[in-house]
Amino acid sequence: MSDDDTRNVLVLHQILALTDVNFKTRSVHGFTELTMAPLSDRINLINLNCKQCKIYSIYFNGVYEADFDYYDPALMKSNETRRDLFTYLSQEEQATIAVDADEGNGELCIRVPDEFQHEMMMASDEKKSFVFKLAIEFGVDNPRGGIKFHQNRSAQDSFLCSVDSNAHYWFPCVYSTNELNTWKIEITVQKEYNVIASGELIEVEFVKKNHHQQQQQQDLMMDAEIDRDGNTNIDESRIFHFYLNKPT
């Protein structure tokens, strides 16, 4: 089979880091890193599930930047003139299959750089095991599914929560119950917020917000947020580290 119609990689572990949760703009910024093993000697494309996200950059092993395409058939306008239930269900089924992770499909199509393909082929020729990391920087604005903002006047009454099992609505992943892996989850919040997430809480780290962003987002320059009094909110934030050692 070709890379387009079968699973060509296996996810072994995934890190999800939400580095900026903004209640004012109802947005989330973060990155995810997938540790993968190739299931084919030659891989040109890797497809992941990802809806309503903005993708800023993708890197293989932190060195090779990758080009990518985003295509969600569920958002495409149909040219079908018939308007009946059978036609609707048929189109919905086709759209679902087109992004089915078990078939190697997905909304986010990542092109493997030629240099990195060469590294994989050399490892295969030498019969060496090959594991690589795929890092993706992403953002979500005003999400309509997957996660929901509940906002009131005070931090004690404002929270962000997942509302269904559609993880691919707010970060890139392989959305399939047939491919389970271990996880590490890191969520950065202002000091007045707490975090509850899946897995075991292994550490709470106190940091300067701008310093953490510099470390986690590869020196991405971000403007300091100004509060109502005109002060910059770069003083204190907390990073909650969770780990799921059972494949999920």
What are the pLDDT digits (tens) for 157-185? 667 888 778 899 999 999 999 999 999 99
Q: What does the pLDDT profile of the chain (248 residues) look like in tens digits?
A: 334 447 899 999 999 999 999 888 999 999 999 999 999 888 999 999 999 999 999 999 999 999 999 988 766 565 666 677 766 566 666 767 778 988 889 999 999 999 999 999 988 888 788 999 999 999 999 988 888 888 766 655 667 888 778 899 999 999 999 999 999 999 999 888 899 999 999 999 998 755 444 454 444 333 333 343 444 445 589 999 999 999 99
Indicate the pTM of the whole model.
0.81
Four-residue CA torsion sign, 107, 59, 56, 20: positive
Tokens of 34: 């997938």
* pLDDT tens-place string over residues 37-62: 999 888 999 999 999 999 999 999 99
Strands 182-190 and 9-22: parallel
The whole-angstrom separation of Cα 28 and Cα 227 is 18
Asked whether the beta carbons of 116 and 61 are under 8 A apart, the reply is yes
Percent of the chain with pLDDT over 70: 76
Segments in the chain forming alpha helices (H): 85-98, 114-125, 209-216
The whole-angstrom separation of Cα 19 and Cα 132 is 23
The whole-angstrom separation of Cα 54 and Cα 27 is 11
The whole-angstrom separation of Cα 35 and Cα 40 is 16
Using CB atoms within 10 Å of the CB of residue 162, give its burial: 0 to 12 exposed, 13 to 18 middle, 19+ buried. middle
- CA distances in angstroms from 20 to 26, 142, 166, listed in the order given: 11, 14, 20
